Amino acid sequence: MDIKKILEYQKKDAELNKLEKELVKSECKKIYQDMISVVKQAQDKSASLEAQAGYIKAEIDRLNKSYKENSNNVSKVSSKDFSSMKEEEIENLISMMEALQNNLSILEKKMLAEAEKLNITLTEFEKTKKLYGNAKAKYIDNKKQYEELVKAKGPEMEKIKQELREMEKDIDQKVLARYKQHRQDNLFPIFTPLSNKSCSFCMLELSAVEVDKIKSQGYLECDNCHRIIYNSENNK
C-alpha cells in the first residue's frame, strides 16, 4: 500500500476536518439543536394541559347540571302548600329540603375547587405557550446564525474538497474507500503511525504477531480505536 499518498491526502483532509469541527462545535448550532427538544417538550406540555383543561371543563359542566337539578327540586319543595299537610309530611319535606341544601353546598365547594384547578391549568398553559414562543424564536435565530457560518466557511471548504478530489486520482481506490468509510464513522485521523509496539493514537500495545503483520503488510487496523496503524519506518 502506498502510505505516502494517503498520508498527504489525510494532511489536506485535516484542514477540512478542522473546519467541519468548528461548525459542529459552534455555539449557535448547539443552541438551535437544544431548542428543538425545548420546543417539542413545550408542544407536548401544551397539548396535555389543553386536554386537562377539557376534562376540568367537562367536570364543571357536570357539577353545574347537578346543581341546577337540586336547585329546581328546592323550588318545587318550597312552592308546595304546607297549610293542608300533616305534621309528618311537613317534617319529611323539611328533611328533604335540608338534604337538597346540603347537596347544593357540597356542589358549590366542588365547583369552586374545579374552577381553581382550571385557573391553575390555564396559567400553566399560558406560561408554556410563552416558553414555546421564546424557544422557537431562539431556534430560528441560532439556526440562521449557523447557516450564515456555514455559508462563510463554504468557499474555503469547497476549495479543500476540490484539492482532495484531485489527490484522490493518485490513491489506490481500495485504500481510499477504506479511508472514506472511517471518515464517515467520524474517525480522525484515520492513519496513525506505529509507535514502538503501540498504536500511536490510543497507545494500545500490540502483540508481536500484530507488529510483524504491520511490518510485512504495511498496515493493520487497531482493535481499540479502529485507526489504521502504519509502519512509519518504511515511509521516512
Question: Which positions touch Zn ion (CB under 5 A)?
Answer: 199, 201-202, 204, 222, 224-225
For the bound state, the minimum distance from the C-beta of residue 218 to Zn ion, rounded and expressed in Å, comes to: 17
The residue ranges of DSSP E strands in the chain, in sequence order, are 191-195, 198-199, 219-221, 228-230
Report yes or no: 118 and 57 within 8 Å, Cβ to Cβ: yes
Nearest CB to Zn ion, comparing residues 67 and 219: 219
* Cα dihedral sign, 127-26-168-222: negative
CB nearer Zn ion, residue 97 or residue 202: 202
Nearer to Zn ion, 107 or 220 (CB): 220
Q: CB of residue 133 vs Zn ion: minimum separation in angstroms?
A: 48
In angstroms, rounded to a whole number, what is the distance separating the alpha carbons of residues 196 and 179? 24
Minimum CB separation from Zn ion for residue 14, in Å? Answer: 18
The rounded distance, in Å, linking the Cα atoms of 91 and 73 is 16
**Angstrom distance (rounded) from CA 92 to CA 80:** 13
Nearest distance in Å: CB 38, Zn ion? 38
- The residue among 75 and 186 lying less far from Zn ion, judged by its C-beta, is 186
Query: Which cell numbers in the block locate residue 51?
Result: 386536554
Separation of alpha carbons 27 and 145, rounded Å: 10
CB nearer Zn ion, residue 91 or residue 223 = 223
In degrees, rounded to 5, the angle at the alpha carbon of residue 2 between the alpha carbons of residues 204 and 181 is 60
CB of 236 to Zn ion, least distance (A): 21
Amino acid at 55: Y
